[in-house]
Copies of this chain bind each other. A is one copy, B any other.
Amino acid sequence: MNTKERAILLMHCPDKIGLVGEITGFLQSNNGNIISLDQHVDPESNEFFMRIEWDLNGFIIENQKIGEFFNTLIAQKYDIKWRIAFADAVPKMAVFVSKYSHCLFDILSRYESGEWKVEIPLIISNHDKFKHVGKRYNIPYYHIPITKDNKAEQEKKQLDLLRKYDIDFSVLARYMQILSDDFISHYPNKIINIHHSSLPAFAGAKPYESAYKRGVKIMGATAHYVTAELDAGPIIYQDVTPITHKDSIKDLKRKGKDIEKIVLSKAIWSHLNNKIISFRNKTLVFGS
């Protein structure tokens, strides 16, 4: 089975009888063999969600027309919010970083080994610390320092770069600057952040210190989409690691780095593989 020639539809709408049949009927009557279908109705909101992946071999609608046909024939009727993706697409991802290397290096290691289907056209940082790393991977590295006074204009530069490089989504790999609401508004559900605690515990600054002070016995990391409210966006993935009284703040930081980089990379994988639907500040993340 050639995984490259596949399309994925992600969608949601108010639940109605006949939705699954009509949508799968649309694919199958056009000779699309469904590879996997994950469907869910949220009992609180009565919203219908579906991720459907099918084989494009022999599918009678050409790729760039599928969206139009689906919209006209199905989506409009049910008021479906949808997006289409193709398994052989190679999204363009920007990486934002400050002074910590663990997430950056983990991302670049996966990039270099070909673990992910992604292109990284640029790295943006408020420090020049990892300039040599950009060179090493032949990735343009933009040093854009941020102060209280120049934030607006520097963010404009960042946005220009994202547009210039035709960026699909961005990853904040321990980027220690708060993005403005305006910046975020250009990329809804397109900016993934890693927070170094198990949100909603210890939102904001210095979560390690707070965790140490509170004497928690587990410590976590949270990957989430960035929204205007700090550390409050839709959670994509979380994990924890056990802590004991023997762990100093330095140990918490060391242990934290391991879960942060893995949690962030799992979230990126799910995003890259079109496994995520966002809805009202929550996500549905479909399993591998």
Residues of A near any B CB (own CB < 8 A) = 1, 15, 17-21, 24-25, 27-29, 31-44, 49, 101-102, 105-106, 109, 112-113, 115, 136, 198-202, 214-218, 220, 234-240, 242, 244-249, 251, 254-255, 257-258, 262, 265-266, 269, 281-285, 287-288
Contacts A201-B201, A218-B220, A234-B215 given: A288-B115 contact, CB under 8 Å? Answer: no
Residue of B nearest to A26 (CB): B21
- A202 vs B202: C-alpha distance when bound (angstroms): 11
Contacts A199-B216, A283-B215 given: A33-B17 contact, CB under 8 Å? Answer: yes
- A102 vs B114: C-alpha distance when bound (angstroms): 11
Residue of B nearest to A29 (CB): B21
Interfacial chain B residues near A113, Cβ < 8 Å: 101-102, 105
27 pairs from A and B in contact (CB 8 Å cutoff) = A17-B31, A17-B33, A21-B24, A35-B41, A37-B39, A44-B248, A44-B249, A101-B109, A101-B113, A105-B109, A105-B113, A198-B240, A199-B201, A199-B214, A201-B201, A214-B235, A215-B234, A215-B281, A217-B237, A218-B238, A218-B239, A240-B240, A242-B242, A244-B285, A245-B284, A251-B288, A258-B262
Smallest CB separation, A277 vs chain B (Å):
8
Listed from nearest, the 6 A-B pairs whose CB atoms lie closest are A215-B282, A105-B109, A201-B201, A245-B284, A21-B28, A37-B39
- A244 vs B216: C-alpha distance when bound (angstroms): 21
Question: Which of A15, A17, A36, A247 gathers the greatest number of chain B CB atoms within 10 Å?
Answer: A17
Question: Which of A21, A39, A115 gathers the greatest number of chain B CB atoms within 10 Å?
Answer: A21
Q: Decide if A109 touches B102 in the complex (CB within 8 Å).
A: yes
- A20 vs B36: C-alpha distance when bound (angstroms): 10
Q: Decide if B200 touches A198 in the complex (CB within 8 Å).
A: no
Smallest CB separation, A88 vs chain B (Å):
16
Q: Decide if A287 touches B202 in the complex (CB within 8 Å).
A: no
- A261 vs B22: C-alpha distance when bound (angstroms): 44
- A243 vs B63: C-alpha distance when bound (angstroms): 33
Q: Decide if A40 touches B29 in the complex (CB within 8 Å).
A: no
Contact of A198 among B28, B101, B218 (CB under 8 A): B218
- A258 vs B265: C-alpha distance when bound (angstroms): 10
Residue of B nearest to A15 (CB): B33
- A109 vs B267: C-alpha distance when bound (angstroms): 20
Q: Decide if A214 touches B200 in the complex (CB within 8 Å).
A: yes
Interfacial chain B residues near A255, Cβ < 8 Å: 288
- A85 vs B215: C-alpha distance when bound (angstroms): 25
Smallest CB separation, A263 vs chain B (Å):
10
- A101 vs B108: C-alpha distance when bound (angstroms): 12
